[in-house]
Amino acid sequence: MSDRVLLKVYYFGQILLQISEGVTFVYENLLDLVIPFSISFEELKCVICEKIQSERARRISCILYRNPIQVFGGFVQFQTKYVTDEASMQDMFSMYIENRSQLSFIELYVEFEQSEANRNILREDYNSDNEEEFESNYEVVGPDGDEVQGDGAMAPDVFDVATALANDVPFEEPSFMRVLDLEAMHVPEFLDYNNAEIPFLADGEFAVGMEFSFRKAVIKAIKEYTIRRSVDYRVYESESLTFYAKCTQYGSGCDWLIRISMISQKYCWVIRRYNGSHTCTRATISQDHSKLDSTMIAKAIKLLVEADPALKVKSVIAEAQSKFNYTVSYRKAWLAKQKAVEKIFEGWEASYEALPIWFEAMCHKEPSAVVHFETMPAYQGDDLVTDIRVLHRVFWSYYPCIRAFRHCKPVVQVNGTHLYGKYKGCLLVAVSQDGNNNIVPIAFAIVEGETSDAWHFFLSNLRQHVVTRDGVGLISDRHESINAAVERSNGAWSPPRAFHMFCIRHIESNFLRKFKAPYLQKLVVNIGYSRTVREYEVRYQRLRERGEAYTDWLNRIPREQYALAFDGGYRWGHMTTNLVECINSLHANQLASGNIQVSCFDRQNEVFEVREMPSGLEFAVDLRGLRCDCGEFQVDRIPCRHVFACCANQRLDWQVYVHDVYKMDQVRRVYRARFRPLGNPTTWPVYNGPRFIPNPYLRRVGKGRPKMTRFLNEMDTRMLRRPRRCTICGAEGHSRGRCRQQRGANANRDQ
Is 95 in the same domain as 8? yes
- What is the model's pLDDT at position 412? 95
Please indicate, yes or no, if residue 616 is contained in any of the structural domains. Answer: yes
Please indicate, yes or no, if residue 333 is contained in any of the structural domains. Answer: yes
Please indicate, yes or no, if residue 658 is contained in any of the structural domains. Answer: yes
Is 731 in the same domain as 662? no
Distance CA 238, CA 689 (A): 42
Is 617 in the same domain as 723? no
- What is the model's pLDDT at position 65? 86
Is 638 in the same domain as 732? no
Identify any residues that bridge with 422 across adjacent strands, giving them in sequence order: none
Distance CA 682, CA 686 (A): 9
Please indicate, yes or no, if residue 425 is contained in any of the structural domains. Answer: no
Is 218 in the same domain as 336? yes
- What is the model's pLDDT at position 168? 36
Instruction: Determine if the pTM surpasses 0.75.
Output: no
Total number of domains in the chain: 4
The CA-atom distances, in angstroms, between 701 and each of 332, 421, 706 are: 18, 11, 10
Domain extent for 90? 4-117
Is 233 in the same domain as 316? yes
* DSSP of 511-554: HHHHH--GGGHHHHHHHHT--SHHHHHHHHHHHHHH-HHHHHHH
Is 215 in the same domain as 316? yes
Domain boundary among 300, 322, 344: 344
Q: How far is CA 267 from the centre of its chain?
A: 38
Domain boundary among 319, 344, 369: 344
Is 624 in the same domain as 728? no
Is 724 in the same domain as 664? no
Q: How far is CA 96 from the centre of its chain?
A: 34
Is 323 in the same domain as 231? yes
Cβ contacts of residue 9 below 8 Å, gap of 6+? 30, 31, 32, 33, 48, 51, 52, 108, 109, 110
Is 319 in the same domain as 220? yes
Distance CA 696, CA 654 (A): 61
**Per this entry, what is the length of the chain?**
751
Torsion angle of C-alpha atoms 468, 405, 677, 363, degrees rounded to 10: 10
Please indicate, yes or no, if residue 570 is contained in any of the structural domains. Answer: no
Is 225 in the same domain as 103? no
Please indicate, yes or no, if residue 16 is contained in any of the structural domains. Answer: yes
Distance CA 741, CA 751 (A): 16
- What is the model's pLDDT at position 668? 92
Q: What is the CATH number of the domain that holds 53?
A: 3.10.20.90
Please indicate, yes or no, if residue 20 is contained in any of the structural domains. Answer: yes
Evaluate the omega torsion of the peptide bond into residue 367 and state whether it is cis, within 30 degrees of 0: no
- What is the model's pLDDT at position 152? 38
Spans of the chain below 50 pLDDT: 1, 19, 72-73, 117-197, 200-202, 582, 717-721, 749-750
Burial of 502 (0-12, 13-18, 19+ CB in 10 A): buried
DSSP E strands: which ranges in 220-332?
233-238, 242-247, 257-263, 268-274
Domain boundary among 325, 344, 363: 344
Please indicate, yes or no, if residue 259 is contained in any of the structural domains. Answer: yes
